[in-house]
Structure 1
Amino acid sequence: MKGIVSKVALGVAGTGMAVAVAAVAIGPRVSEWWDGRHQEQASYESGSQAKADRRSMPTWLPDNASSVKYLMSTTGDDRLLRATLPEGRLPSGCTAGLPGKGPHPVPASLKAGWFPERIATKASGSCGHYNVTLTGNQLYAWQDGAAVQAARRAEHVAKH
Structure 2
Amino acid sequence: MARRPRTLAVVALGGLAALTLSACGGLSESLEERNDGHTKTYAFDTGKAGKVDEVVPSWVPDDAATVQGIFRTTGMERLLTYRGSLDGLPADCTTVSAENPLIPQPEREGFTADDFRTDATLLAAWWPDGQEKASTVMCGKWWISSDGEDVYAFTPELTRVEIEKQPTPEGK
Range into which the TM-score falls when normalised by the shorter chain: 0.5 to 0.7
What residue in structure 2 maps to residue 68 of structure 1?
67
Which residues in structure 2 correspond to 1:101-116 (within 5 Å)?
Answer: 105-108=118-121, 110-116=122-128
What residue in structure 1 maps to residue 165 of structure 2?
none
Distance 2:52 2:33 in 1: 29
Query: Whose RCO is larger (CA < 8 A, sep 6+)?
Result: 2
List gaps (5 residues or longer) in structure 2: 1-31, 105-116, 160-172
Normalised TM-score (structure 1): 0.61
Amino acid at match of 2:135: A
Normalised TM-score (structure 2): 0.57
- Deviation per residue, 1:102-136 (Å, 9 max, x gap): 7983431x110011112123111111101111112
Higher helix share: 1
What residue in structure 1 maps to residue 96 of structure 2?
97
Distance 2:143 2:58 in 1: 14
Distance 1:95 1:101 in 2: 10
Distance 1:101 1:133 in 2: 11
Aligned length: 114
Which residues in structure 2 correspond to 1:130-145 (within 5 Å)?
Answer: 130-145=142-157
Go from structure 1 to structure 2 and tell me whether the alpha carbon gap of 1:63 and 1:35 turns closer, same or farther (over 3 Å shift): farther
What residue in structure 1 maps to residue 78 of structure 2?
79
The alignment-based identity, stated in percent, is 26
Distance 1:101 1:59 in 2: 20
Which residues in structure 2 correspond to 1:1-160 (within 5 Å)?
Answer: 34=34, 36=36, 38-53=38-53, 55-85=54-84, 87-89=85-87, 91-92=89-90, 93-97=92-96, 99-100=100-101, 105-108=118-121, 110-146=122-158
**Contact 2:45/2:65, CA 8 A, preserved across alignment:** yes
Go from structure 1 to structure 2 and tell me whether the alpha carbon gap of 1:71 and 1:102 turns closer, same or farther (over 3 Å shift): closer
**Contact 2:118/2:157, CA 8 A, preserved across alignment:** no
Distance 2:102 2:64 in 1: 30
Go from structure 1 to structure 2 and tell me whether the alpha carbon gap of 1:127 and 1:33 turns closer, same or farther (over 3 Å shift): same
Go from structure 1 to structure 2 and tell me whether the alpha carbon gap of 1:106 and 1:141 turns closer, same or farther (over 3 Å shift): farther
Is the partner of 1:50 in helix, strand or coil?
helix
Q: CA deviation at 1:46?
A: 0.1
Distance 1:101 1:44 in 2: 28
**Contact 1:106/1:143, CA 8 A, preserved across alignment:** no
